[in-house]
Amino acid sequence: MKIRQSQTIKLYEISNCASAVNSGSSNGRRYLLRKSTVFAFCAISVLATSLPIGAFAQDATEQESTEQSEQEKLEQQEREKEEKEAAEKKAKEEKEAAELKEKQKDLEKDAKKLEKKLTKAEEEKQQKQQILNAQKNELDQQRYALEKTKSEVEIKESEISAKDAQIKTLQNTTELNRAMLSATMRQLYFVRDRSAATDVFESEEGSQFLLSRNSTDALRARLVQTMDDLKIQTESLDEAKQALQQAKKKKEELLAQQKQQEQQIASSAAATSAQVKEVEATISEINGKLAGIQSDLSALLGVGVSTDDIVEAAEFASKKTGVRKAMILGMLIVETDLGRFTGGCTYKESRMNDVRKKHFKDITKELGYDYKKMKVSCPPSNYKGTGGAMGVAQFMSDTWVGYRDVIAKRTGNNPPDPWDLVDGVMAMASKLANDGATKKSGEWKAAARYLGSCTGNTRFYCENVLYWADNYDKKL
């Protein structure tokens, strides 16, 4: 608009200049020439004056257009830069996510391999332990038989000693009888040297002589009979003594054999015990490696809790339920390595059934979580079952629903959260209490019910729980 007004003004000035020329005097050709010159001069002056203004206006427009173009260009470049940075960031995040997923898969793959080794080692330990138990039973039986044989040998020795005493008594009696018989024989010899008439006449009482003689004969007869009896008894005792000595000898030979067998069994049991300890060391090593992988997974997935918090939660749950703190911590070590690994699978990857899926979605919805993003346990590789366990207590969704009100009442959190440490530990303790773990004698059964069973290949689960219940401080 300004450019058009300037041009109009300049044309008006040319017109005024021409009018001034026309108003002058005219004297022939000189006049015409001068008139044309003046007119041309006016026109040129006016045009000369107007041309810079038009050019300036055009330059301003072009400059304004150029500035606008530059601004748009800068804005476009800024947008392109932002888009490029966003694309690079997204690509980087996708790459990191892919690397994270790949690392997670590798760790889980390593964990599954270790779990298989652990299962194999536990089976080997169980087999070795059964052999060891049988050897210990055999050793106990052998030692019992050994003690029995020792006792029998001692009895035979005692009986032999008794026979020796009886024989010695008979020998003493025999010697006495021999002495008596010798005296009787001397008396008879004296009587034979004297005539019967002389004895009768010299004796104040003849009848006493006859009686004395008869008595001596009777005594001699009795002594002879006694000697015969003593001989028979002695021979019988000798035979009994010899029998006892033979029986003792056999018992001693049996005792020697039993001692040798005891040594062999004890040696075998010691070797088997060493093998069991070796397998236990392997199991401990595998558990250590597995715990390391689980810790790496926990760090990778950004999960885990401090040991102080988990011990405090266990103490709180113990007071509320009556289950000892050590038992709760033992369970937590076996289930989630004290909360370091609570699962790395989605609900789809867990292969949980439809009923559990429905409960899972209801639980997450009530808590305001995205059920697609919440992590749960993966399907086990070392025994039959599905994944889908939630939080430190590793509760299945349907089990959680069953304990929901109890947990809320004991913790005051309503609704309770399976991924919350206090709620999770309380859920575990409540179930253990319900299954009999308020008494130490019922802890095995409660642990078995927590898993589902503790027989066969899964027996090691309960063994580990009770072991860590008494050794949880090694994990803290």
- The answer to which of 59-63, 66-70, 330-334 has the lowest mean pLDDT is 59-63
Pull the structure tokens for residue 121: 């080692």
| Better-scored residue on pLDDT, 64 or 438 | 438
Mean pLDDT of 40-62: 49
pLDDT at 17: 43
Note whether 475 and 333 are within 8 A (CB). yes
Given pLDDT bands bounded at 50, 70 and 90, which one contains residue 398?
A: very high
pLDDT at 228: 77
* 474 DSSP assignment: G
- Of 16-25, 109-118, 372-381, 431-440, the range with the highest mean pLDDT is 431-440
Mean pLDDT of 227-236: 76
pLDDT at 12: 42
Tens digits of residue pLDDT in 377-394: 888 765 567 889 999 999
| Better-scored residue on pLDDT, 348 or 173 | 348
Average model confidence (pLDDT) for the chain? 77
Query: Among 472, 348, 367, which residue's Cα sits nearest to residue 418?
Result: 367
pLDDT at 62: 66
| Better-scored residue on pLDDT, 296 or 239 | 239
Mean pLDDT of 54-78: 69
Given pLDDT bands bounded at 50, 70 and 90, which one contains residue 303?
A: low
In DSSP notation, 368-402 reads T--TTT--BPPPPSSSS-----BTTTTB-HHHHHH
Given pLDDT bands bounded at 50, 70 and 90, which one contains residue 396?
A: very high
pLDDT at 466: 92
How many CB atoms within 10 Å of residue 441? 8
Mean pLDDT of 155-173: 80
Integer Cα distance of 299 and 339 in angstroms? 11
pLDDT at 363: 96
For 217-364, strand residue ranges (E) read: none
Single pTM value for the model: 0.46
Note whether 170 and 230 are within 8 A (CB). yes
- The answer to which of 19-28, 50-59, 73-82 has the lowest mean pLDDT is 19-28
pLDDT at 285: 81
pLDDT at 181: 64
- Of 199-213, 219-233, 426-440, the range with the highest mean pLDDT is 426-440
Q: pLDDT at residue 344 above 80?
A: no
Given pLDDT bands bounded at 50, 70 and 90, which one contains residue 348?
A: confident
What percent of the chain lies above the pLDDT cut of 70? Answer: 72
Q: pLDDT at residue 63 above 80?
A: no
Given pLDDT bands bounded at 50, 70 and 90, which one contains residue 11?
A: very low
Note whether 219 and 184 are within 8 A (CB). yes
Tens digits of residue pLDDT in 248-289: 888 888 888 888 988 999 999 899 989 988 888 887 788 767
Q: pLDDT at residue 242 above 90?
A: no
Q: Give, rounded to a whole angstrom, the gap between the first and last alpha carbons of the chain.
A: 86
Query: Among 15, 22, 1, which residue's Cα sits nearest to residue 47?
Result: 15
* 438 DSSP assignment: T
Mean pLDDT of 189-208: 49
Q: pLDDT at residue 200 above 50?
A: no
CA distances from 315 to 228, 280, 320, 414, 467 (A): 91, 30, 9, 21, 19
pLDDT at 298: 62
What lies within 8 Å, CB to CB, of 329 at 6+ separation is 310, 311, 314, 338, 468, 469, 472, 475
Given pLDDT bands bounded at 50, 70 and 90, which one contains residue 188?
A: low
